[in-house]
């Protein structure tokens, strides 16, 4: 039997609603693909919304044919050398080198960053030039013409996995059919989580993870113990998000590669996420942290003679130790004590808009995945992306939010952006009361920023103790 929010969602949104539990039953677990890609495949084989045995067989055949396992990489390369045409489902993207005037295709499955693609394919699929596109590429091999010339892998055809036109106005209008609690349940289910196992506080934290996806240049940190699902949303919800694992992160990767004249991650994505920050290494020159401080403040960056702006948000995820009360073990000294020293600079932390208390989240369990209806992953991704360009929400916040103890410009800017992001997610139709605005948008935004101010005071007494309050 459907939950009430499911019935409303099905009646209002129809074709863009899917049973989120089916992704667990469809046999994708052995393949490293985001949920939104798996749901796209799933949706195209379901029979009246049901995962029948015939549908399961078709999905299995599709996966076997187009999505080989990582250990089969050499076998696929051998097929190419044998002059076979290979159709491969992958996350493709294209780089343009201004020095050479060439376009190069990146095929992650083959670990190949210098494949070739026709101008026609790039023109028809412009997202190849930014965040990249999942789809089935038809690949073939051109043998070397001389010992000095390497062989070439070419893409001759491409069928992208992407949703068609998203009617964002219709999406907003249908919000009025739900209560706020029903809407929150739908959003959380759409994220891939089971809303029934979380309390209101935990639901708020889950929603908070979406904020940088809907509001340009929102910067967050989430610290939590292992196993709480910090990175799941960023890995699976939006194709406009890029997660970078622990290790060395260079200014060339983040901002701009001077050698190849290609833009970095913040120019290609809506959101860049640094995962496992406790193991991330900075560059010896300090250029990365210096560049991040400028970018997080102004949206500008420069490398060499190149200066540019970007709109990407920035999130850092890290593991911390908890005490017996499930609170950060270093609460008194400062919760950033366990992250690398180069990320502990107070001028850098001050540019973070909010700290998500991931320590309040339960560990992932068998009950965590959604078992109810929700938005299809590709549709939800496009909705979040579309909301980034909406300016009416910031205007609403500026007209209706009144704060005291918030003289610092960074504090006010942070709370405004965060409140605007909550507003976009929870009240996309802007139909709400002042009480709802304060409870669901302003209070959580203030809490996120207040936590930053509290940590800054612990780290450096030069940062005075500030209490941001809401004027009712």
Boundary residue ending a domain (107, 126, 160): 160
Please choose, from the candidates 221, 210, 287, the residue with its C-alpha nearest in 3D space to the C-alpha of residue 248. Answer: 287
Alpha carbon distance 450, 455 (integer Å): 9
Tell me what pLDDT residue 29 has.
64
Q: How many domains does the chain have?
A: 2
pLDDT at 96: 86
In a domain, 45, yes or no: no
Question: What is the pTM assigned to this prediction?
Answer: 0.91
Q: Strand pairing of 152-160 and 219-224? A: unpaired
Per-residue pLDDT of the chain (472 residues; tens, 9 = 90+): 889 999 999 999 998 999 999 888 887 766 778 888 888 888 888 887 788 888 888 988 998 899 998 889 999 999 999 999 999 999 999 988 877 888 999 999 999 999 999 999 999 998 898 878 899 999 999 998 888 888 899 999 999 987 667 899 999 999 999 999 999 999 999 999 999 999 999 999 999 999 999 999 999 999 999 999 999 999 999 999 999 987 788 999 999 988 888 889 999 999 999 999 988 887 777 899 999 999 999 999 999 888 999 999 999 999 999 898 888 988 888 999 888 888 899 999 999 999 999 999 999 999 999 999 999 999 999 999 999 999 999 999 999 999 998 889 999 999 999 999 999 999 999 999 999 999 999 999 999 999 999 999 999 999 999 999 998 7
User: Which CATH number fits the domain that encloses residue 127?
Assistant: 2.40.50
Point out which residues pair with 222 in neighbouring strands.
317, 356
**Which residues span the domain enclosing 142?**
70-160
CA distance 222 to 183: 24
> C-alpha distances in angstroms, 167 versus 48, 174, 195, 297?
23, 11, 26, 33
Reported for 395-401, long-range contacts at CB under 8 A and 24+ positions apart, including other chains, are 396/420, 396/423, 396/430, 397/423, 397/441, 400/434, 400/437, 401/437, 401/442, 401/470
**Strands of 293-346, DSSP E:** 300-303, 306-309, 313-319
State residue 170's pLDDT score. Answer: 96
Q: Which of 108, 134, 160 is the last residue of a domain?
A: 160
In a domain, 93, yes or no: yes
Whether residue 96 is contained in a domain is answered as: yes
- Domain contains 176: no
| 97 in any annotated domain | yes
Q: What is the pLDDT of residue 30?
A: 65
pLDDT of residue 40: 87
The reply to whether 111 falls in a domain is yes
Alpha helices in 251-299 (DSSP H): 251-254, 265-268, 287-298
- Identify the three-state secondary structure at position 395: helix
Domain-located, residue 135: yes
Domain end position, chosen among 121, 139, 160:
160
pLDDT at 381: 94
φ, ψ for residue 257, nearest 5 deg: -95, 110
In a domain, 417, yes or no: yes
């Amino acid at each position: 039997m459907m939950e009430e929010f499911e019935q409303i969602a099905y009646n209002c949104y129809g074709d863009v609603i899917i049973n989120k539990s089916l992704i667990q039953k469809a046999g994708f677990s052995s393949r490293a693909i985001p949920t939104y890609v798996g749901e796209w495949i799933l949706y195209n084989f379901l029979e009246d919304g049901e995962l029948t045995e015939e549908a399961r067989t078709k999905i299995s055949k599709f996966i076997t044919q187009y999505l080989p396992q990582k250990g089969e990489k050499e076998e696929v390369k051998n097929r190419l050398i044998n002059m076979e045409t290979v159709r491969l489902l992958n996350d493709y993207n294209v780089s343009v080198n201004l020095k050479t005037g060439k376009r190069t295709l990146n095929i992650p499955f083959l670990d190949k960053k210098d494949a070739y693609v026709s101008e026609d394919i790039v023109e028809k699929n412009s997202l190849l030039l930014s965040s990249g596109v999942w789809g089935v590429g038809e690949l073939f091999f051109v043998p070397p013409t001389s010992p000095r010339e390497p062989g070439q892998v070419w893409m001759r055809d491409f069928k992208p996995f992407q949703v068609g036109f998203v009617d964002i106005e219709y999406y907003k209008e249908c919000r009025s059919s739900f209560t706020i609690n029903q809407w929150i349940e739908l959003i959380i289910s759409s994220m891939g989580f089971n809303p029934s196992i979380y309390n209101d506080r935990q639901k708020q934290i889950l929603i908070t993870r979406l904020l940088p996806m809907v509001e340009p240049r929102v910067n967050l940190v989430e610290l939590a113990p292992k196993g709480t699902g910090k990175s799941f949303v960023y890995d699976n919800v939006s194709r406009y998000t890029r997660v970078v694992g622990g290790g060395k992160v260079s200014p060339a990767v983040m901002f701009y590669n001077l050698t190849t004249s290609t833009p970095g991650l913040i120019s290609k994505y809506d959101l860049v996420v640094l995962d496992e920050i406790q193991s991330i290494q900075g560059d010896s020159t300090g250029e990365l942290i210096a560049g991040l401080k400028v970018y997080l403040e102004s949206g500008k960056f420069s490398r060499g003679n190149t200066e540019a702006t970007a709109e990407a948000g920035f999130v850092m995820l890290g593991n911390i130790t908890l005490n017996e009360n499930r609170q950060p073990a270093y609460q008194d000294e400062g919760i950033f004590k366990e992250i690398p020293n180069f990320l502990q600079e107070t001028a850098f932390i001050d540019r973070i808009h909010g700290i998500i208390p991931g320590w309040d989240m339960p560990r992932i369990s068998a009950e965590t995945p959604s078992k109810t209806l929700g938005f299809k992953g590709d549709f939800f991704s496009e909705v979040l992306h579309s909301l980034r360009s909406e300016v009416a929400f910031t205007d609403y916040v500026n007209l209706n939010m009144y704060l005291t103890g918030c003289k610092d410009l960074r504090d006010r800017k942070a709370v405004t952006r965060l409140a605007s992001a909550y507003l976009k997610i929870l009240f996309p139709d802007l139909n709400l009361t002042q009480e709802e605005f304060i409870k669901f948008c302003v209070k959580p935004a203030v809490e996120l920023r207040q936590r930053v101010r509290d940590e800054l005071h612990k780290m450096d007494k030069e940062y005075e103790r500030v209490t941001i309050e809401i004027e009712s």
